[in-house]
C-alpha cells in the first residue's frame, strides 16, 4: 500500500471526525493524545511551539498534562515536593478539529496517536485508523477536578516486606523486616530479633537503611 493511499485513508478518517467536532473556536473540544512514555512535558513544549510557528492558535487552544501534588520523603526524613501525572503517557489538547490542526498535533515528535475509535481498513488486513473522539464534558470535569482536589501523594523508598538494617539508636546494627510504613509520620515498624524473639519496633526513616 502506497504512502499516498495511507494519507488518503487518514484524511478520510479525519473528515468523519470533523463532522461532529466542527472547526470554530466555539466548538473546540478536549482530546486525549497518547505520547511516548516519559515524553509528556517534551510533547507539550514542542506542540505549544508548533502552534505558534504554524499559526494555528485559533484552533489549538490549550495543551495540558493533568498533575497532582506529590511529596517524596528522602532517607534523611526531608521532604521534596513534586507533581505526579494523573494519566502517564497522555496529554490533553483542547482544539477545533480540522485537517490542519490534526496534522499539527499528529506530526509533533513523540506523539503516537489520538485516543478514539479504531476504524476498520476498507481493504486488506491489519489495523485500521483511529477516529479522534473528544472527551465528554463530564470526563473533562472529572479529570481536572481530580488534579485540583486530590490530596498530595506521599512516596517513600520503603515498603512492607523490605529488609532493613538499623543505623542508629539503641537497636543499631540490628536487622529486620518492615511490617508497616507511615509516610505522613516519616516512621516505620520493623520486626527485629531481640533476645531471640521477633519484636515490632517503631523507627524513624533516617534510622534505617534498606538492604538488597
Q: Are residues 129 and 200 in the same domain?
A: no
Query: pLDDT band at residue 64, thresholds of 50, 70 and 90?
Result: very high
Comparing 107 with 9, which gets the higher pLDDT?
Answer: 107
Q: Are residues 112 and 44 in the same domain?
A: yes
Q: Are residues 22 and 81 in the same domain?
A: yes
Entry pTM = 0.65
Q: Are residues 170 and 149 in the same domain?
A: no
CA 29/CA 95 separation, integer angstroms: 6
Which residues are within 8 A (CB) of 20 and not within 5 positions of it... i.e. 6 or more apart? 134
Q: Which of 154, 169, 196 is the last residue of a domain?
A: 154
Query: pLDDT band at residue 24, thresholds of 50, 70 and 90?
Result: low
Residue 163: pLDDT over 90: yes
Residue where the block lists cell 505520547: 35
pLDDT tens digits for 101-149? 999 999 999 999 999 877 665 544 544 577 899 999 999 999 999 888 8
pLDDT tens digits for 67-93? 988 877 766 666 778 888 989 999 999
CATH of the domain at 33: 3.30.70.940
pLDDT for 117 equals 77
Closest CA to 62 of 79, 74, 44, 80: 44
Amino acid at each position: 500500500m502506497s504512502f499516498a493511499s495511507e494519507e488518503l485513508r487518514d484524511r478520510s478518517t479525519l473528515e468523519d471526525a470533523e463532522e461532529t467536532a466542527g472547526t470554530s473556536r466555539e466548538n473546540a473540544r478536549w482530546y486525549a493524545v497518547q505520547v511516548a512514555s516519559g515524553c509528556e512535558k517534551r510533547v507539550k513544549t514542542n506542540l505549544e511551539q508548533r502552534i505558534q510557528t504554524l499559526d494555528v492558535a485559533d484552533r489549538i487552544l490549550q495543551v495540558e498534562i493533568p498533575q497532582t501534588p506529590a511529596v517524596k520523603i528522602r532517607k534523611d526524613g526531608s521532604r521534596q515536593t513534586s507533581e505526579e501525572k494523573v494519566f502517564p503517557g497522555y496529554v490533553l489538547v483542547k482544539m477545533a478539529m480540522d485537517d490542519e490542526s490534526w496534522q499539527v498535533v499528529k506530526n509533533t515528535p513523540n506523539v503516537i496517536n489520538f485516543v478514539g475509535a479504531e476504524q476498520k481498513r476498507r481493504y486488506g488486513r491489519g489495523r485500521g485508523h483511529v477516529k479522534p473522539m473528544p472527551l465528554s464534558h463530564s470526563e473533562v470535569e472529572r479529570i481536572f477536578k481530580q488534579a485540583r482536589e486530590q490530596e498530595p501523594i506521599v512516596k517513600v523508598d520503603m515498603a512492607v516486606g523490605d529488609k532493613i538494617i538499623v543505623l542508629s539508636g539503641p537497636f543499631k546494627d540490628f536487622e529486620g523486616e518492615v511490617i508497616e510504613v507511615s509516610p505522613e509520620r516519616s516512621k516505620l515498624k520493623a520486626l527485629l530479633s531481640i533476645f531471640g524473639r521477633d519484636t515490632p519496633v517503631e523507627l524513624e526513616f533516617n534510622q534505617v537503611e534498606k538492604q538488597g
